[in-house]
Structures are given as structure tokens and as C-alpha cells.
Amino acid sequence: MAVVGMVLVVVLQSSTAVGILAVGCVTSGILTASTGIAFILLSLQMVGQATELLRDSALLPALVGYLRGGPLTAFLAAAVIAWVVHSSVATVLLFVTFASGGMLPLEVALPMVLGANLGGGIIAVWIDLGIEIEARRIPVGSLIFRGVAALLVLMLLQVGDLPVHYLGATKAV
């Protein structure tokens, strides 16, 4: 798996290939967790490069303005995006890239990250629809836990001011 990932990274230069490489290296025991984190950071940079065209788009500010008014809409839209993409990690990386590039304000990004988390649970339940009920208990339980936790945090975001200023306003060094 690690060799396949390395070939895909070199040939395709895609963030998915970087993810395959990271999974292959970790599961085969070749590299440590720090290398896996490096690949995640590399894929984050690649997602940023791939979405540069959106920065000049006229559609993105209108969409962000719409989502700014409705955190529940942003939450549900992100869950659908994560389900369609079939990857909550890729969806979160996309939102983090948008937020760090100033394209997505924090009051929109936080509900969207929570929604992507819920979307990841929906993926597991969706994939397991054809198996017996006993085997579906864990994915359904995970979806319920993710959903309740995400909705609680979403409500906390609406009720009070979370100390998001600790996240920082500048890029990390």
C-alpha cells in the first residue's frame, strides 16, 4: 500500500494519493506518526493550491454571505458535502484551507467542521445498509454520538462566545 501511494503521489500529485501513502505507510509500519502528520500537512497545502481559483470567484462570497446568516444551514451543507465526497477528513481540510486563506470566516467554518464530522458518521451508516442489524449497531451508535455532540457544540456556539481568539489570527510558523 505504501509503494502504491508513493507512485500515486509522484505521478498524480494529488492529496488523495498523499492520503493513500500516509495510510499505507502507517499500516505497513514503515513510518512513524510524525511522517503521517507531515503527509496531512502536505495534502493541506495541495488542497490550498487546488482551490486558489475560488479566491477570485464571485460565487464564493455570495455563498459565504448566505451561510453566515444560518449556522444550521452551514452545518447541514457541510454534512452533505462530506457525504458526497465520502471523506470527512478531506472536507475538513477543505474548510480549514478556506478559513486559513480568509475565504471562510470562523463563524461559518466552525459549524461546517461540525457538519463534516456528522457527514463522516452518515457515510459509515450508508455503507453498512446492506448488512445485518447487529453489525450496524456500531456505525449507528457512532452517528448518534457524532450528531448529538455536534449539535450540542453548535448550540454552544450560538448561545455564548467561545474563546476562538485562542486559535490565533496569524499563520503558524
Which pLDDT tens digit goes with each residue over 44-92?
A: 778 777 777 777 788 888 888 888 888 899 999 999 999 998 888 888 8
Read off the pTM: 0.69
Q: Residue 167, exposed/middle/buried by CB under 10 A (0-12, 13-18, 19+)?
A: exposed
Element spanning 60, H or E: helix 59-68
Check residue 103 and give its pLDDT. Answer: 83
The Cα–Cα gap between 20 and 39 comes to 10
Phi-psi region of 146 (alpha: psi -120 to 50; beta: other; left: phi over 0): alpha
Q: With a cut of 90, say whether residue 136 has pLDDT above it.
A: no
Share of the chain above pLDDT 70, in %: 73
First to last CA, the chain: 32
